[in-house]
Structure 1
Amino acid sequence: MPDFPAVDERRERTWTRTETAKVVLLYDAGCSIYDLEEATRIELRHVVIRLVRLMFGAQGCLDDENTAPLSGEAYSREDQQLMRGMLRQGSSLAVIAEALGRTQLGVGWKRLSLQIPTLSAELREEYAADAR
């Protein structure tokens, strides 16, 4: 029996510019992250990671559950209020994640699923030409 190397499912996907443009522009048009998975045929986790990195400037490890005691737990109403308040104050994704006891990926995923952020004009402009 052949010995295959283990697949690291947590490894980030390599994106083409065309794939990125499609995801960015569909999200900007109001497509939910769940519909993006279907529209692009790219696993949801990878779609979310790509948008979190692009839209929120997230760097480093996004999903270190060792530093996130509430990772995977449902967000309470208070959690969502705190997150929204911190967003209004201009807090970074990393700061919000730490305050909520969650991973950056978890907070970014929540923000995207609630469609809280809108796409910046810079990102929209950067990828608009690729959609033509």
Structure 2
Amino acid sequence: MSDEPDLLALENQVCFALAVAARGVIGAYRPLLEPLGLTHPQYLVMLSLWGIEPQSQRDLARALQLDPATLSPLLKRLESQGYVDRSRRVGDERTLDIRLTPEGRALREQALGIPPAVVERLGMSIDELTELRESLGRVIEAVQPTS
């Protein structure tokens, strides 16, 4: 029997580890987001808007690395919940600007407890999570299409 690792063993696959970890981490967010009426993708939209607003739909899609067709239903749902407004930009009808409503801004205060709760659930130090995020950032950068 060889001492070489089996390159096709499931437990040796980075893709498998990333997929399972992603499902698990997103699952840890679910009970924290439910009281806010948000799904994880909607939470990511809100995080981006809490950081910068208004944003064009195109810029928001780029920031979230989502296809605009995927982002559009998320925005419609957030608008129906009263968290965002979508409006055509004055002077450029082709651009759709996304702004938080007062309710959307107020939701930020309720969301402040989410990151510490996730950190506690994961049982990892802030340093470990920072190192993981930086490593994942390098993975994301490596798989980006070259233009």
The verdict on a shared fold, with TM-score over 0.5 as the criterion, is: no
TM class by shorter chain equals 0.3 to 0.5
Where relative contact order (Cα < 8 A, 6+ residues apart) is larger, the structure is 1
Judging by fraction of residues, say which structure has more helix. 2
Question: If you compute each CA radius of gyration, which structure gives the higher value, 1 or 2?
Answer: 2
Structure-1-length-normalised TM-score: 0.37
Structure-2-length-normalised TM-score: 0.34
Judging by fraction of residues, say which structure has more strand. 2
